[in-house]
């Protein structure tokens, strides 16, 4: 066995920086230790990574097959399908004007979410590379649903067991603004069931699984379900539980979508460029059995107020 992996904690409850590793050159022994750190700490940070898209894709693929990007209003076809380009610059490398629909669409990333929970097979992990970062603002915040689950009363944990939530991308983006999804795109991402409690197969620790996309719970009235989902989200994202990552150019952050919530924070988009490239490692299967079609109720006043709070909280 080689030397132990050097790490530095990012927060008392989640996340470590992996020190002295170039992700372009990782041997099998070191990679095995990185996987172990990922399962244990949920958020990993690699600083000073000089990555192009090919190198980022190659490292990401070592964790499993990658998702491909469904083209939307903000997508750019010049990037590989494995790359999600999260940027406030257009295909001609110019700042996207304030008020443009593309920036409004991206504002949905400022709500707490897990990547691809609106897909039948949700994502395992995301890897986000900071190519250009603003000098202020634009942070990414992380919160552990595993830590929050372990702090729940026993009765609440028993109540959540075997529950199934419905996740809908159309619902979450509808909270941000009307008409952001074309009918053609919405048809590609219909509502899907997800287990409300998930366990990490490596060590069995459980987490509840909620996000801005979660909008119904099978067998519960909509108002009660959404109140419960908001309560769980609030428990996980209490300020003392949140790690705020302030980006430096060359940072590569990786997180476990099975148990970690994240959200982007605002910055002066009219003044500063922010170019982030994300790869997403696909999950290994559905988290819940198929259910009879569940209608997603339109957003209600409490839902919109909750969304506004997420978008405005600094």
CATH of the domain at 165: 3.60.130.10
Domain membership flag for residue 180: yes
Domain membership flag for residue 131: yes
Nearest to 29 by CA among 66, 65, 1: 1
- pLDDT tens profile 213-267: 999 999 999 999 999 999 999 999 999 999 999 999 999 999 999 999 999 999 9
Domain membership flag for residue 212: yes
Question: 119 Cβ partners below 8 Å, 6+ apart?
Answer: 67, 189, 192
Cα-based distances in Å from 82 to 78, 132, 138, 275: 12, 19, 23, 16
Domain membership flag for residue 2: no
Q: How many domains does the chain have?
A: 1
Helix, strand or coil, per DSSP, at residue 194? strand
What pLDDT is attached to residue 304?
A: 86
Domain membership flag for residue 1: no
Domain membership flag for residue 195: yes
* Residues of the chain predicted below pLDDT 50: 72-75, 314
The DSSP code for 244 is E
Domain limits for position 148: 7-312
What pLDDT is attached to residue 16?
A: 98
Domain membership flag for residue 261: yes
Cα-based distances in Å from 56 to 59, 121, 201, 235: 5, 22, 26, 33
What pLDDT is attached to residue 10?
A: 98
Question: 235 Cβ partners below 8 Å, 6+ apart?
Answer: 148, 151, 152
Q: Kindly state the helix (H) or strand (E) to which residue 197 belongs, with its residue range.
A: strand 197-199
Length of the chain: 314
Question: 131 Cβ partners below 8 Å, 6+ apart?
Answer: 249, 275, 276, 277
Domain membership flag for residue 115: yes
């Amino acid at each position: 066995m080689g030397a132990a992996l050097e790490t530095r904690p990012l927060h008392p409850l989640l996340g470590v920086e992996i020190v002295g590793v170039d992700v372009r050159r990782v041997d099998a022994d070191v990679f095995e230790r990185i996987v172990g750190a990922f399962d244990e700490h949920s958020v990993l940070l690699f600083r000073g990574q000089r990555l192009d898209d090919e190198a980022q894709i190659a490292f990401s693929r070592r964790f499993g097959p990658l998702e491909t990007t469904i083209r939307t209003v903000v997508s750019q076809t010049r990037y590989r399908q494995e790359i999600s380009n999260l940027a406030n610059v257009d295909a001609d490398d110019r700042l996207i004007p304030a008020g443009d629909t593309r920036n409004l669409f991206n504002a949905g990333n400022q709500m707490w979410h897990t990547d691809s929970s609106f897909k039948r097979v949700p994502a395992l992990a995301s890897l986000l590379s900071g190519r250009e970062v603003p000098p202020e603002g634009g942070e990414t915040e992380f919160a552990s649903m595993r830590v929050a689950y372990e702090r729940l009363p026993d009765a609440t944990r028993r109540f959540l067991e075997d529950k199934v939530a419905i996740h809908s991308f159309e619902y979450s983006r509808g909270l941000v603004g009307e008409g952001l999804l074309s009918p053609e795109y919405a048809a590609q991402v219909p509502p899907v069931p997800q287990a409300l409690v998930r366990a990490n197969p490596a060590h069995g620790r459980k987490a509840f699984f909620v996000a801005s996309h979660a909008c119904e719970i099978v067998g519960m009235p909509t108002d009660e379900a959404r109140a419960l989902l908001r309560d769980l989200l609030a428990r996980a994202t209490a300020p003392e539980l949140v790690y705020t990552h302030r980006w430096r150019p060359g940072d590569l952050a990786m997180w476990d979508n099975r148990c970690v919530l994240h959200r982007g924070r605002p910055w002066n988009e009219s003044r500063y460029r922010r170019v982030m490239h994300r790869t997403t490692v696909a999950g290994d299967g559905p988290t819940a059995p198929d259910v009879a079609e569940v209608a997603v109720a339109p957003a209600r006043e409490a839902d919109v107020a909750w969304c506004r709070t997420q978008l405005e909280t600094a």
